[in-house]
Structure 1
Amino acid sequence: MTTADENDIVVGVDGSAGSAAALRWALAEAKASGRRVVAVRAWTYDPTADLESAAARSSRDLENRYRQRLAQSVAEALAGADPVPVRAEPVDGAPGPVLVRVSQNAAMLVVGSHGHGRLLRLLVGSVSAHCLKESRCPVVVVPVRTAEERGPVPDPAVTYEPGPLL
């Protein structure tokens, strides 16, 4: 895969709660706007880096694992929802650069927030920070909140009407 189309919403999916929230947001936005979602899972094969890579016999084995997990994440997010066109792509490479490259022509890039680190990383993770800094398209950072904090999911078809300026 090279890049997404100008009508696509690219979303980073890594199996975390943040990426699940970002995927749900992207699906709702795609439904409201008539766009397609391109769910991207960045991965790298380095048997010395982690047990996941070491357990895989080859980069192809690891890519297939991530492809299956990505498909499962998309299926879970779509469960009970109206169908939306989704293309799921595992892409070899570091998450930030992969998402920026794939989304360079996209309508938008959606990532989950992360709460670890310093300064900007207090609000967003390192991948989110990279995407905000380097992306050529609009970036949406979706916060992770509990269901109790979130309340009912807003209808994306409802438009926001700003109040008077003070």
Structure 2
Amino acid sequence: MGLGSGKAKIIVGVDGSEASLEALRKARYLAEPLNAQIEAVGCWEFPRMYDGYLMTDIGGGIRENAAKVLNQAVTTVFGAATPTNVKINLIQGDPKSALIKASQNADLLMVGRRGHGGFHGLLIGSVSSACVAHAKCPVMVVHAPEDGEHGS
């Protein structure tokens, strides 16, 4: 692993869900033996209204809320002192596009899986699906731990 720099890079999509926290835990587990850098990526967008975007940040907090979720996730997994091999990156834009673009400079992309509907255990979410189909590096889709399980 490694894209010329000698150090592998693991991108983790983080949205605050249990599945994304588990992806971050798995990245932590993999990073040490691989001597890898972890980049925790969170995304935010202005809300869509009709055919355009509402360019004002109603309530002034969309970006700030996304940053809070991302920082809290990193703190939950790594503790108050973020390790030196962990970078936090908040990106404005659609999570699918942002993670696929980030995968161009990564050795591994990790995302959480969110299933919906009657086949909850079999389906992956739209972001996970898009990443699996279009990422420029291998993708690991991580399930949230079942009740009673603990992350690594």
| TM-score in terms of structure 2 length | 0.79
The answer on 1:137 being equivalent to 2:141 is: no
Residue 15 of structure 2: aligned partner? 14
Superposition map of 1:1-166 within 5 A: 7-46=8-47, 48=49, 54-56=58-60, 61-79=61-79, 83=83, 85-116=85-116, 122-148=122-148, 150=149, 153=152
* Distance across 1 between alignment mates of 2:133 and 2:100: 10
Percent of residue pairs bearing the same amino acid type: 34
Which consecutive unaligned segments of at least 5 residues does structure 2 have? none
- Is contact 1:18-1:143 (8 Å) kept? yes
Question: Which deviates more, 39-48 or 101-110?
Answer: 39-48
* Distance across 2 between alignment mates of 1:84 and 1:142: 24
Question: Deviations 1:100-136 (Å, cap 9, x if unpaired)?
Answer: 10121201000011111598x9421110000000011
Which consecutive unaligned segments of at least 5 residues does structure 1 have? 154-166
> Letter of the aligned partner of 1:69 in structure 2?
V
RMSD of aligned alpha carbons: 2.9
* Distance across 1 between alignment mates of 2:59 and 2:122: 33
Structure 1 ranges of 4+ moved more than 6 A = none
* Distance across 2 between alignment mates of 1:67 and 1:81: 17
| TM-score in terms of structure 1 length | 0.73
More strand by proportion, 1 or 2? Answer: 2
Structure possessing the higher radius of gyration over alpha carbons: 1
Query: What displacement does 1:81 show?
Result: 9.7
